[in-house]
Structure 1
Amino acid sequence: MSEGTMQRPAQPVRRNERDRWGKRRNRVLVGVAALPALLLAAGCSSDSGSDSGDGGKSASGGDASASASAAPTVQAAAYKKLPDSCDVLSKKTLTSLVPKGAKSGKEGTSSDTGTRASCSWNSLDSNGVKGSQFRWLNVSLLRFESDVTRGEGDKLAQTYYEKQVKDAQEATGAKNTKTQPVTAIGDTATLVRYDLKKKEGAFKQQTIVTRVENVVVTLDYNGAGLAGEKTPNADTLAKLAQKAAKEAVGAVSAANGEGSGAGSDSGSATTAPSPSKSGATSASPSTAKSASPSKSAAKKS
């Protein structure tokens, strides 16, 4: 057999092998194309199994609902507003404290009268050549809101109350200072008494600081006999100051829907329940900033 005849059968054989390789290659490509779909399906199956078995917990293992409920809260402040500072005392009470100045109330400057307010009165009763009787009265009110970063309103008020008492005890020029607790006025109250010597005469100062819930009321009252007039009795001034402070506390309660307002002899918030003590609130830290203490009567007189 010639050499050319021996080579002819080899051509069909190579063609068949090429066809088989092409089919095999196509099957491989189809398998590779299907692989991503299989992996995706397997991943989805794995995720769904994980979700159904963790009981709603977060990736860190914590309960999402428990995390949300753990947000910081603080007890809501009881009182939400203040009364008009120049209306906290009745005309009858003002007449007994400042006889010639019951209508002379002057409201203090405040950027927010719902948080801080004050009013002052003065009286000069002339007795001719015998001299004059001078009286000065000031009532200031400061309300504290609850704050998640600073604490509950009544506790903030208590801190300020204590500072006000200390400031009164350390008034410039005060002599014979005496401090005593006062009952039946607000939640807590203190009377600070002292003498002041000025070129105009001898002044008898009475300062009552009281806290009712989240509000602090500071009442300054002093009297003096001028130009030869007799110095007023300190005990009498103290009794008048206590009556006025109790009335001012009643006005705070009345402004918030409790008790009686100005003119009531029994106006005190101590017997009435707090209107909002049953709930907690998340308070804004921007509210109820602590104010600086009011100036002492020694500086104002």
Structure 2
Amino acid sequence: MHRKAPRLARILACAAVPVMLVVTGCSSDSGDKSGDTGAAQEKGGDKAAESAAPPAEKTPDVEPAKFAKLPDACRSVPAKTVGELVPSAKVKGGTAGRSTDTMSRSNCSWNGLDDNGVEGSQYRWLDVSYLRYDSEQALAASGAQRAQDNFTKELSKAQSTPGAKKVKSAAAKGIGEQASTVTYQLRKTGEDFSYVTVVARTENVVITLTYNGTGYAGAQPPAVADLTEKALGAAKESVASVKAANK
């Protein structure tokens, strides 16, 4: 009986050891491997997402505006030219329009009645206006592009003058980067007026020059062709004044 007891104890101890080792080993290995696999998958997913995401697009730089300022509108047309287009102008130096920002917009006008006695009188009116545009990075538009858009708007505005008759448009060469004329007739104050508007663009500046006239006391209104020729000459000088102001 004394011999069997130690032997039985040894058998039971040996039987218990494998069970403890299996349980301990399984719980330890299972926890470590699952944690490593999840971390690896998470890191791999982050890298895949980063590689799949498109690179952020950079807004392209726009070309800076060429002209930084405008000329004095009342001096943009030479006095000699004003004398030819508006004889007997009330204000020789012109009347400046109101503007809170003369670096971006300005205009000047002249008008006068030339009395020719028994041959009647001739009335003339001349107006020149400037609009300057800066480049806009936020809009991805250069000053020249913005001016080109406004050139189209100003031209359309002249073509759709309320009450205008016999409206005609034509491209004008040799004046800035682009220019067009709009001619029409308009009846007001009981008289027939002849009109010509020249819209021109030089880089980031738009110039609109309007010249009109009529005859009083039996005098005939001026010929549109004559007004157009004189207006084109004044428009060229107006464009040149922009370049001169920015030297």
**TM-score (normalised: structure 1):** 0.61
CA distance in 1, matches of 2:190, 2:124: 13
CA distance in 2, matches of 1:119, 1:108: 6
Aligned residue type for 1:121: W
Q: Deviations over 1:108-149 (max 9, x none)?
A: 000110110000000111123443100000000000000012
Q: Percent identity?
A: 44
Aligned residue type for 1:235: A
User: Which residue, out of 111, 126, 137, partners 2:100?
Assistant: 111
Residue pair 1:105, 1:119 contacting (<8 A) in 2 also: yes
CA distance in 1, matches of 2:188, 2:80: 30
Alignment correspondent of 1:237:
227
Structure 2 residue 226 is the aligned partner of structure 1 residue 226: no
Structure 2 residue 114 is the aligned partner of structure 1 residue 128: no
Alignment correspondent of 2:78:
90
Alignment correspondent of 1:179:
169
Residue pair 2:74, 2:93 contacting (<8 A) in 1 also: no
Alignment correspondent of 2:29:
none
Alignment correspondent of 1:205:
195
CA distance in 1, matches of 2:224, 2:60: 49
Residue pair 1:200, 1:227 contacting (<8 A) in 2 also: no
Deviation at 1:91, TM superposition (A): 1.1
User: Which residue, out of 100, 110, 119, partners 2:88?
Assistant: 100
CA distance in 1, matches of 2:137, 2:93: 41
Deviation at 1:231, TM superposition (A): 1.5
Q: Post-superposition, which runs of at least 4 consecutive aligned residues in structure 1 deviate over 4 A?
A: 69-72
- The number of residue pairs the alignment matches comes to 193
CA distance in 2, matches of 1:233, 1:71: 52
CA distance in 2, matches of 1:227, 1:177: 26
CA distance in 1, matches of 2:160, 2:60: 38
Deviation at 1:73, TM superposition (A): 2.5
Residue pair 1:168, 1:207 contacting (<8 A) in 2 also: yes
Match of 1:193, SS? strand
Deviation at 1:72, TM superposition (A): 5.0
Residue pair 2:106, 2:129 contacting (<8 A) in 1 also: yes
